[in-house]
Chain A
Amino acid sequence: MNQWIAFWSIMFKDVRAYYLKPPNVSWGLIFPVAWTGMFFIRSGRGLDSVLDLLPGVVAISVLFGTTSMLAVTVTFEKKNRSFDRLLLAPIPLSLLMLAKTSGAILFGVFNAFVPILLAQFLTDLSRIAWMTVLPAVLLVAIASTFLGLFIAVSVSEVFEAQTFSNFFRFPMIFLCGLFFPISALPAFLRPLAFALPLTYGVDILRQGILGQSMLPTGLNLMILIGFCLALFIVSLRNVHRKWIV
């Protein structure tokens, strides 16, 4: 029971100290707005394209909102050694890492709803299957946060974490079916698309928002959950191996 006091405190501390800071809140707002605007304008098909673009914009907002956060909450704290305090706390490492990531996951979910709220003013969202979209948003947030965690524990400098995460996320914009279907990719790139978690998240979002998808939603969910578990376990092992040396 006492361990949960530590869990909530770590999460709330991060939310207060990092996520609710004006630069992050505005980043969380501006970034999705910018993406939304850019794609809606670029598509040139007017307002009826809003719904088409929504899954991609939601996914990209979550991806960019979460992955860079762990560079701050984990890499930065590791660097200034305050992370040692957390490692000294009498709580299991897994609970500690969950606490460190849960703030970023919440932040990601918050990011997802910025474009959805904007779309609300531009188009009719009444046909969206929210019970499909919500788990998808949550899982995409979890998967990209854990990807951020994986990156954060693989590097030792904050700028490395930023660079390294761009190495993952920019290709993902094009490879994961965000704005054009995976079938439109050159054949040799397609396997790569299926190796990335975002592909499955976007597919569920498309199902929920547009009623069309490549794979069945149940399968997509299972694969996405698998990615989340794998990323988390690998990150935990990395923490064990690299930080408690």
Chain B
Amino acid sequence: MRIINDPDPLIRVEELTKRYKEVTAVDGLSFAVNHGELFGFLGPNGAGKTTTISLLTGLARPDSGAIRIAGRECAKNPKAAQHLIGVVPDESNLYPELSGYDNLCFCAALYGMRQAERQMRARELLEVFGLEGAADRKFAGYSKGMKRKLTIAAGIIHRPPILFLDEPTTGIDVASARQIRQLIADLHRAGTTIFLTTHYIEEAERLCERIAFVVQGRIVEIDSVVNLLQPVRQRRAMLITVSGSVEGLCNHLAGAYPQFTFQAASADQVRVESSDTISIGPLVRSIEDQGGEVIEARRLRPSLEDVFVRITGIDLDAMKKEKGGGGQ
């Protein structure tokens, strides 16, 4: 693990551990989140993301370890920093029997905001999230995307300097997900320190400055996105789609071009990787010599996915399928 360079991070967690009977949900986590940073917590189902948020926000009690938020010791006294924190849980948990507007006003009141201020803020956020039309409708009747947006609005109603977002875009459609990501970026730009959990790698890559990969309650890698991408940045990759089957083709190509690695990406796609430039001409000719035809050749952008797979060995397709829904 790398040394954290900010001498006075906003959130500092040391050796945090949480066990539920036989499961160790969080296993000796240490990390820090700096002032104004957008920190990503990326991991598959059951990695311990939600548990970590619960521990940091005072909804769960750690078995051991230290939590400091804004200089306050929170492992023993979880109330110490709660006024600085906004939380958007993974499930929308507002009051079904209250309207959207009343829900927001109520949440504002929990943080001691006065009536005039909370009404103004509630109207403002309903507008930001495009929910003015549904302001007086009961939360129970909202669609999933609307619920999610209102839950995010409720999490930021008191303008918290620190925001915890638990999988904010899981299970909603592409347009809403994009809108929410835009909002997160705006909050970040405005100076909010954000702790974001997600299992969408692209989302983490696009939004976050620093990312921790979490597997089975442990951080397996933590670094800035730029640094994480470094090892794959040098590598070139290309996806070639051929007519017919790629069976046998990979072996043939590997023999002809030992400087490249070939891999069947699907029934009719070959993935080519190299640390050098890949020139497509000779490859196309070789494939045609084998009686195939190149339909498409596409350069692949080096992505965090490659890094994640390389470090964790986790099957990404499985991870994406598990949750379904929009997201990307």
Q: Which residues of A contact B (CB under 8 A)?
A: 1-3, 5-6, 8-10, 13, 17, 80-82, 84-92, 244-245
A45 CB to nearest chain B CB (Å):
45
Residue of B nearest to A91 (CB): B110
- B80-88, B123-131, B169-177, B250-258 - the one binding chain A: B80-88
List the count of A-B residue pairs having beta carbons below 8 Å apart: 65
Q: List 24 A-B contacts (CB under 8 A).
A: A1-B112, A2-B111, A5-B112, A5-B114, A6-B111, A9-B106, A9-B110, A17-B95, A17-B97, A17-B98, A81-B91, A81-B93, A84-B59, A84-B93, A85-B93, A85-B107, A85-B110, A88-B57, A88-B59, A89-B111, A90-B79, A90-B82, A91-B110, A244-B58
Instruction: Pick the most buried of B60, B94, B106: most chain A CB atoms within 10 A of its CB.
Output: B106
A88 and B58 form a contact (CB under 8 A)? yes
A5 and B95 form a contact (CB under 8 A)? no
Residue of A nearest to B115 (CB): A5
B64 CB to nearest chain A CB (Å):
15
A82 and B95 form a contact (CB under 8 A)? yes
B36 interface residue, CB < 8 Å from A?
no
B235 CB to nearest chain A CB (Å):
44
Q: Report A-chain residues with C-beta under 8 Å of the C-beta of B91.
A: 81
A244 and B114 form a contact (CB under 8 A)? no
Residue of A nearest to B151 (CB): A85
Residue of A nearest to B95 (CB): A82
- Among B59, B61, B107, B111, contact of A90 (Cβ-Cβ < 8 Å): B111
Q: Report B-chain residues with C-beta under 8 Å of the C-beta of A85.
A: 93-94, 107, 110, 154
A95 to B78, CA, bound (A): 16
B113 and A80 form a contact (CB under 8 A)? no
Interface residues of B in 109-157 (CB under 8 A from A): 109-114, 154
B59 and A6 form a contact (CB under 8 A)? no
A80 to B98, CA, bound (A): 14
Check A84/B89 contact, CB under 8 A, given A90-B82, A244-B58: yes
Contact with A along B238-278 (1 / 0, CB 8 A): 00000000000000000000000000000000000000000
Residue of A nearest to B84 (CB): A90
Size bracket, chain B contacts = 20 to 34
A82 and B82 form a contact (CB under 8 A)? no
B110 and A82 form a contact (CB under 8 A)? no
B71 interface residue, CB < 8 Å from A?
no
Q: Report B-chain residues with C-beta under 8 Å of the C-beta of A5.
A: 109, 112-114
Q: Which residues of B contact A (CB under 8 A)?
A: 57-61, 78-79, 82-83, 85, 87, 89, 91, 93-98, 106-107, 109-114, 154
A63 to B109, CA, bound (A): 31
- Among A80, A91, A245, contact of B60 (Cβ-Cβ < 8 Å): A245
Residue of A nearest to B112 (CB): A2
B96 and A80 form a contact (CB under 8 A)? yes
Residue of A nearest to B20 (CB): A245
Check A13/B82 contact, CB under 8 A, given A82-B93, A88-B58, A245-B60: no
A210 CB to nearest chain B CB (Å):
42
Q: Report B-chain residues with C-beta under 8 Å of the C-beta of A1.
A: 112
Residue of B nearest to A82 (CB): B93
A92 to B58, CA, bound (A): 12
- Among A9, A87, A88, contact of B109 (Cβ-Cβ < 8 Å): A9
A85 to B89, CA, bound (A): 10
Check A13/B85 contact, CB under 8 A, given A5-B113, A244-B59, A244-B60: no
A90 and B83 form a contact (CB under 8 A)? yes
Nearest 9 Cβ contacts at the A-B interface: A2-B112, A9-B109, A90-B83, A89-B110, A90-B82, A81-B93, A5-B112, A82-B93, A6-B110
B112 and A88 form a contact (CB under 8 A)? no
Check A81/B89 contact, CB under 8 A, given A2-B112, A13-B98: yes
Q: Report A-chain residues with C-beta under 8 Å of the C-beta of B89.
A: 81, 84
B96 CB to nearest chain A CB (Å):
7
B112 and A13 form a contact (CB under 8 A)? no
Residue of B nearest to A243 (CB): B59
A237 to B182, CA, bound (A): 43
- Among B78, B85, B87, B110, contact of A86 (Cβ-Cβ < 8 Å): B110
A114 to B190, CA, bound (A): 56
Q: Report A-chain residues with C-beta under 8 Å of the C-beta of B112.
A: 1-3, 5-6, 90
Residue of B nearest to A6 (CB): B110
